[in-house]
A = this chain, B = another copy of it.
Amino acid sequence: MAASKPPMVAHRYLPTGEQDRRELLAAVGVESVDALFSTLGDLVLDEPVAIAGPMGDGALRHHLGALAAKNQVAGRDFVSFLGGGAYRHEVPTVIDHLLLRGEFLTVYTPYQPEFSQGTLQAIFEFQTFLTLLTGLPVANASMYEGASAFAEAVLMADRLQKKRRKVVLSRGIHPHYRATLATYAQNLDFDLVEVGWDESGRTDAAALAAAVDDQTICVAVQSPNYFGVVEAWSVASDIAHAQGALSIGVVTEALSLALLQSPGAGGCDIACGEAQSFGLSLAYGGPYVGFLAGKDEHKRAMPGRLAGETVDSKGQRAWVLTLSTREQHIRREKATSNICTNQALCALAATMYLSLYGKVGLRQLAESNLKRAAQLRQSLVATGVGFAPRFRAPSFNEFTVRAGEPVQPLLRDLEAQGILAGIALGSDYPELEDCLLMAVTECNPMADIERFIATLEQRMAARIGMPFPTAR
Given contacts A57-B91, A58-B90, A58-B442, 9 further A-B contacts (CB under 8 A): A10-B360, A12-B356, A56-B90, A57-B90, A57-B92, A57-B93, A97-B100, A100-B100, A101-B101
Q: Taking CB as reference atom, which chain B residue is nearest A97?
A: B100
- Expressed in whole angstroms, the Cα–Cα distance for A90 and B61 within the complex equals 10
- Quickly give the copy total for this chain: 2
A318 contacts the other chain (Cβ, under 8 Å)? no
B-chain residues with CB within 8 Å of residue A132 when the two chains form the complex: none
- Expressed in whole angstroms, the Cα–Cα distance for A92 and B12 within the complex equals 11
Give the interface SS of chain A, mostly helix, strand, loop or mixed.
Answer: loop
- Expressed in whole angstroms, the Cα–Cα distance for A282 and B56 within the complex equals 20
Range for the number of chain A residues in contact with chain B:
10 to 19
Min CB distance, A410 to chain B, in Å?
A: 29
- Expressed in whole angstroms, the Cα–Cα distance for A97 and B10 within the complex equals 23
Which of A57, A360, A442 lies at the interface centre, i.e. has the most chain B CB atoms within 10 A of its CB?
Answer: A57
7 shortest interchain CB distances as A-B pairs: A58-B90, A57-B92, A57-B93, A57-B90, A97-B100, A101-B101, A58-B442
- Expressed in whole angstroms, the Cα–Cα distance for A12 and B94 within the complex equals 12
Q: Taking CB as reference atom, which chain B residue is nearest A59?
A: B90
- Expressed in whole angstroms, the Cα–Cα distance for A58 and B443 within the complex equals 8
Which residues of A pack against B, CB within 8 Å?
A: 10, 12, 56-58, 90-93, 97, 100-101, 356, 360, 442-443
Q: Taking CB as reference atom, which chain B residue is nearest A101?
A: B101
Min CB distance, A393 to chain B, in Å?
A: 30
Min CB distance, A298 to chain B, in Å?
A: 38
Min CB distance, A80 to chain B, in Å?
A: 15
- Expressed in whole angstroms, the Cα–Cα distance for A447 and B101 within the complex equals 37
B-chain residues with CB within 8 Å of residue A443 when the two chains form the complex: 58
Min CB distance, A270 to chain B, in Å?
A: 34
Min CB distance, A186 to chain B, in Å?
A: 43
Min CB distance, A416 to chain B, in Å?
A: 23
B-chain residues with CB within 8 Å of residue A10 when the two chains form the complex: 360
B-chain residues with CB within 8 Å of residue A92 when the two chains form the complex: 57
Min CB distance, A102 to chain B, in Å?
A: 8
Min CB distance, A444 to chain B, in Å?
A: 11
- Expressed in whole angstroms, the Cα–Cα distance for A227 and B92 within the complex equals 46
Q: Taking CB as reference atom, which chain B residue is nearest A93?
A: B57
